[in-house]
Amino acid sequence: MNDTKDVTNVPENQLPANLDDILADVGLGGKVTAADIAIPYLEILQGLSPQVQPASPKYLKGAIVSNLFLTVVDEFYPGDIGLDIVPCFYERVHNEWTPRSKGGGLVKTYDPEAGMVAKGKATDPNKPAELYLPNGNLIIDTMYHYILTGRPEKGWTQTIFPLKSTMLKHSRKWTSNLETMLIPGTAHKAPRWMYKWRLTTMPEDKKGNIWYVPAWKQGDRVDMDTYKMAKDYAKIAATGMLRRPMEESLLEGDEANSLI
Protein backbone atom coordinates (compact mmCIF):
# COMPACT_ATOMS: atom_id res chain seq x y z
CA MET A 1 0.00 0.00 0.00
CA ASN A 2 1.21 3.54 -0.73
CA ASP A 3 2.63 4.82 2.56
CA THR A 4 1.09 8.27 2.00
CA LYS A 5 -2.33 6.73 2.58
CA ASP A 6 -1.41 4.84 5.73
CA VAL A 7 -2.22 6.11 9.21
CA THR A 8 0.48 4.50 11.32
CA ASN A 9 0.50 3.55 14.99
CA VAL A 10 -3.29 3.90 15.34
CA PRO A 11 -5.80 1.01 15.32
CA GLU A 12 -7.61 0.91 11.97
CA ASN A 13 -11.06 0.72 13.56
CA GLN A 14 -10.57 4.16 15.19
CA LEU A 15 -9.92 6.24 12.07
CA PRO A 16 -11.09 6.50 8.44
CA ALA A 17 -9.46 4.22 5.93
CA ASN A 18 -6.60 6.48 4.84
CA LEU A 19 -4.84 9.78 5.35
CA ASP A 20 -6.58 11.47 2.41
CA ASP A 21 -9.97 10.91 4.08
CA ILE A 22 -8.72 12.47 7.33
CA LEU A 23 -7.22 15.50 5.58
CA ALA A 24 -10.47 16.07 3.68
CA ASP A 25 -12.29 16.38 7.03
CA VAL A 26 -10.04 19.10 8.48
CA GLY A 27 -12.12 22.04 7.19
CA LEU A 28 -15.38 20.68 8.55
CA GLY A 29 -14.69 21.85 12.11
CA GLY A 30 -15.62 25.47 11.43
CA LYS A 31 -14.02 28.59 10.01
CA VAL A 32 -11.16 29.69 12.25
CA THR A 33 -9.19 32.84 11.42
CA ALA A 34 -6.09 34.39 12.98
CA ALA A 35 -8.36 36.63 15.07
CA ASP A 36 -9.80 33.53 16.78
CA ILE A 37 -6.44 32.14 17.90
CA ALA A 38 -4.50 33.23 20.99
CA ILE A 39 -0.84 33.21 19.98
CA PRO A 40 1.32 32.65 23.09
CA TYR A 41 3.58 35.47 24.20
CA LEU A 42 7.04 34.65 25.49
CA GLU A 43 8.03 36.64 28.58
CA ILE A 44 10.90 36.75 31.05
CA LEU A 45 9.58 36.54 34.60
CA GLN A 46 10.66 39.44 36.81
CA GLY A 47 10.19 40.33 40.45
CA LEU A 48 6.74 41.83 39.88
CA SER A 49 5.44 39.12 37.55
CA PRO A 50 2.20 37.66 38.98
CA GLN A 51 3.41 34.12 38.16
CA VAL A 52 6.06 34.37 40.92
CA GLN A 53 3.80 36.05 43.50
CA PRO A 54 2.17 33.44 45.81
CA ALA A 55 -0.72 35.82 46.58
CA SER A 56 -1.60 36.29 42.91
CA PRO A 57 -4.32 34.19 41.27
CA LYS A 58 -1.88 33.76 38.39
CA TYR A 59 0.83 32.30 40.62
CA LEU A 60 2.48 29.18 39.21
CA LYS A 61 4.09 26.86 41.73
CA GLY A 62 7.78 26.49 40.97
CA ALA A 63 8.04 29.56 38.78
CA ILE A 64 10.90 31.89 39.68
CA VAL A 65 12.38 35.18 38.52
CA SER A 66 14.51 34.65 35.34
CA ASN A 67 12.25 31.89 33.96
CA LEU A 68 11.06 32.02 30.37
CA PHE A 69 7.26 31.97 30.46
CA LEU A 70 4.81 31.10 27.68
CA THR A 71 1.36 32.64 28.09
CA VAL A 72 -1.79 30.80 26.95
CA VAL A 73 -0.20 27.40 27.73
CA ASP A 74 1.12 28.69 31.11
CA GLU A 75 4.48 26.92 30.85
CA PHE A 76 7.75 28.17 32.34
CA TYR A 77 11.32 27.07 31.65
CA PRO A 78 14.65 27.65 33.43
CA GLY A 79 16.28 30.77 32.05
CA ASP A 80 19.81 29.41 32.40
CA ILE A 81 18.92 26.37 30.27
CA GLY A 82 16.69 28.23 27.85
CA LEU A 83 14.72 27.21 24.78
CA ASP A 84 15.44 26.69 21.10
CA ILE A 85 13.80 29.33 18.94
CA VAL A 86 13.66 30.24 15.24
CA PRO A 87 13.23 33.92 14.33
CA CYS A 88 10.56 34.44 11.66
CA PHE A 89 9.43 38.07 11.48
CA TYR A 90 10.13 41.39 13.18
CA GLU A 91 8.28 44.66 13.61
CA ARG A 92 8.70 47.73 15.76
CA VAL A 93 5.74 49.84 16.88
CA HIS A 94 4.90 52.58 19.36
CA ASN A 95 1.94 51.58 21.53
CA GLU A 96 -0.23 54.15 23.28
CA TRP A 97 -1.75 52.84 26.51
CA THR A 98 -4.26 54.19 28.99
CA PRO A 99 -2.51 54.02 32.41
CA ARG A 100 -3.64 51.17 34.65
CA SER A 101 -4.83 53.72 37.24
CA LYS A 102 -7.35 54.91 34.65
CA GLY A 103 -8.54 51.49 33.55
CA GLY A 104 -5.71 50.39 31.28
CA GLY A 105 -5.99 49.22 27.70
CA LEU A 106 -4.38 49.78 24.33
CA VAL A 107 -5.47 53.04 22.66
CA LYS A 108 -3.60 52.96 19.36
CA THR A 109 -0.52 51.55 17.63
CA TYR A 110 1.75 53.88 15.67
CA ASP A 111 4.50 53.41 13.13
CA PRO A 112 7.85 54.57 14.62
CA GLU A 113 8.12 57.17 11.86
CA ALA A 114 5.18 58.99 13.42
CA GLY A 115 7.55 60.14 16.17
CA MET A 116 5.14 59.56 19.04
CA VAL A 117 7.87 58.58 21.53
CA ALA A 118 9.50 61.97 21.00
CA LYS A 119 6.27 63.53 22.25
CA GLY A 120 6.42 61.55 25.50
CA LYS A 121 7.90 62.87 28.72
CA ALA A 122 9.03 61.08 31.88
CA THR A 123 7.17 62.52 34.86
CA ASP A 124 8.91 60.42 37.53
CA PRO A 125 12.75 60.57 37.70
CA ASN A 126 12.75 57.12 39.25
CA LYS A 127 10.84 55.71 36.27
CA PRO A 128 12.55 57.12 33.16
CA ALA A 129 11.04 54.40 30.96
CA GLU A 130 7.50 55.63 31.64
CA LEU A 131 6.88 58.25 28.96
CA TYR A 132 3.58 60.13 29.08
CA LEU A 133 1.91 61.94 26.22
CA PRO A 134 0.24 65.36 26.78
CA ASN A 135 -3.13 63.53 27.02
CA GLY A 136 -1.85 61.52 30.02
CA ASN A 137 -1.45 58.19 28.20
CA LEU A 138 1.70 56.09 28.15
CA ILE A 139 3.67 55.69 24.92
CA ILE A 140 5.88 52.59 24.75
CA ASP A 141 8.46 51.73 22.09
CA THR A 142 8.06 47.98 21.50
CA MET A 143 9.93 45.50 19.31
CA TYR A 144 7.97 42.37 18.43
CA HIS A 145 9.87 39.21 17.46
CA TYR A 146 7.66 36.54 15.90
CA ILE A 147 9.39 33.24 16.56
CA LEU A 148 8.94 29.50 16.64
CA THR A 149 9.54 28.29 20.19
CA GLY A 150 10.74 24.73 20.71
CA ARG A 151 8.71 23.33 23.58
CA PRO A 152 10.45 20.18 24.89
CA GLU A 153 8.69 17.05 23.60
CA LYS A 154 5.94 19.20 22.06
CA GLY A 155 7.60 20.58 18.94
CA TRP A 156 7.53 24.11 17.56
CA THR A 157 4.95 26.66 18.71
CA GLN A 158 4.20 29.98 17.01
CA THR A 159 5.06 32.67 19.55
CA ILE A 160 5.41 36.43 19.91
CA PHE A 161 8.33 37.80 21.95
CA PRO A 162 7.83 41.53 22.72
CA LEU A 163 10.73 43.57 24.05
CA LYS A 164 10.65 47.13 25.37
CA SER A 165 12.50 49.69 27.49
CA THR A 166 15.87 48.36 28.73
CA MET A 167 15.29 45.21 26.66
CA LEU A 168 15.50 47.23 23.44
CA LYS A 169 19.30 47.27 23.33
CA HIS A 170 19.37 43.47 23.49
CA SER A 171 16.75 43.28 20.76
CA ARG A 172 18.87 45.58 18.56
CA LYS A 173 21.96 43.46 19.10
CA TRP A 174 20.19 40.27 18.04
CA THR A 175 18.53 41.99 15.09
CA SER A 176 21.92 43.28 13.94
CA ASN A 177 23.25 39.72 13.96
CA LEU A 178 20.28 38.47 11.95
CA GLU A 179 20.46 41.30 9.42
CA THR A 180 24.15 40.73 8.65
CA MET A 181 24.03 36.94 8.28
CA LEU A 182 24.70 35.56 4.79
CA ILE A 183 23.60 32.38 3.07
CA PRO A 184 26.62 30.05 3.49
CA GLY A 185 28.99 30.22 0.54
CA THR A 186 27.34 33.33 -0.94
CA ALA A 187 27.27 37.09 -0.59
CA HIS A 188 23.47 37.06 -0.23
CA LYS A 189 21.61 37.93 2.95
CA ALA A 190 20.19 34.87 4.68
CA PRO A 191 16.48 34.52 5.53
CA ARG A 192 15.75 35.35 9.14
CA TRP A 193 14.80 31.72 9.81
CA MET A 194 17.93 30.05 8.40
CA TYR A 195 19.25 29.05 11.85
CA LYS A 196 18.01 27.93 15.24
CA TRP A 197 19.03 30.01 18.24
CA ARG A 198 19.24 29.17 21.91
CA LEU A 199 17.43 31.76 24.02
CA THR A 200 18.46 32.07 27.66
CA THR A 201 18.22 34.82 30.27
CA MET A 202 20.91 36.68 32.19
CA PRO A 203 20.86 39.21 35.04
CA GLU A 204 21.36 42.92 34.53
CA ASP A 205 22.09 45.29 37.39
CA LYS A 206 21.64 49.04 37.71
CA LYS A 207 22.17 50.74 41.05
CA GLY A 208 21.30 47.56 42.92
CA ASN A 209 18.17 46.87 40.90
CA ILE A 210 18.43 43.46 39.22
CA TRP A 211 16.27 42.20 36.40
CA TYR A 212 16.69 39.57 33.70
CA VAL A 213 17.25 40.14 29.99
CA PRO A 214 17.47 37.84 26.95
CA ALA A 215 20.65 36.31 25.55
CA TRP A 216 20.95 34.47 22.24
CA LYS A 217 23.41 31.91 20.89
CA GLN A 218 23.33 30.77 17.27
CA GLY A 219 22.71 27.08 16.66
CA ASP A 220 22.50 24.72 13.70
CA ARG A 221 20.71 25.37 10.43
CA VAL A 222 17.05 24.42 10.49
CA ASP A 223 15.77 21.39 8.57
CA MET A 224 13.50 21.83 5.55
CA ASP A 225 10.27 21.19 7.48
CA THR A 226 11.16 23.85 10.04
CA TYR A 227 12.27 26.23 7.29
CA LYS A 228 8.87 25.98 5.61
CA MET A 229 7.03 26.32 8.93
CA ALA A 230 8.97 29.47 9.80
CA LYS A 231 8.44 30.96 6.34
CA ASP A 232 4.69 30.35 6.55
CA TYR A 233 4.56 31.99 9.98
CA ALA A 234 6.49 35.00 8.67
CA LYS A 235 3.91 35.47 5.92
CA ILE A 236 1.06 35.45 8.43
CA ALA A 237 2.86 37.77 10.86
CA ALA A 238 3.52 40.25 8.04
CA THR A 239 -0.23 40.85 7.74
CA GLY A 240 -0.32 42.37 11.25
CA MET A 241 -3.19 40.10 12.28
CA LEU A 242 -1.36 38.24 15.03
CA ARG A 243 -0.30 41.04 17.34
CA ARG A 244 -2.56 40.82 20.37
CA PRO A 245 -2.73 43.74 22.85
CA MET A 246 -1.33 42.80 26.24
CA GLU A 247 -4.02 44.61 28.19
CA GLU A 248 -4.20 41.76 30.67
CA SER A 249 -0.61 42.34 31.78
CA LEU A 250 -1.23 46.05 32.26
CA LEU A 251 -4.50 45.54 34.12
CA GLU A 252 -2.95 42.84 36.30
CA GLY A 253 -0.71 45.42 37.92
CA ASP A 254 2.40 44.39 36.00
CA GLU A 255 2.85 47.85 34.52
CA ALA A 256 6.18 48.59 36.20
CA ASN A 257 7.43 45.10 35.43
CA SER A 258 6.54 45.46 31.76
CA LEU A 259 8.52 48.69 31.55
CA ILE A 260 11.81 47.36 32.92
pLDDT digits (tens, 9 = 90+) for 40-69: 999 999 999 999 999 999 999 999 999 999
Does residue 246 have a pLDDT over 50? no
Q: Give the pLDDT mean for 227-231.
A: 97
Which CA distances in Å does 163 have to 90, 121, 128, 174? 11, 20, 16, 12
* pLDDT score at 175: 95
- The whole-model pTM stands at 0.81
Q: Which of 163 and 38 is assigned the larger pLDDT?
A: 163
**Average pLDDT of the chain?**
85
* pLDDT score at 188: 95
Q: Which of 167 and 30 is assigned the larger pLDDT?
A: 167
Does residue 185 have a pLDDT over 50? yes
Tell me which residue of 235, 230, 251 sits closest to 149, measured CA to CA: 230
In angstroms, the CA 183 to CA 192 distance is 10
Rounded to 10 degrees, what is the CA torsion of 80, 215, 178, 43? 80
Rounded to 10 degrees, what is the CA torsion of 80, 81, 87, 92? -20
Pairing of strands 138-151, 68-70: unpaired
* pLDDT score at 239: 87
Phi, psi angles (nearest 5°) of residue 14 = -105, -10
* pLDDT score at 1: 41
pLDDT tens string 208-228: 889 999 999 999 999 999 999
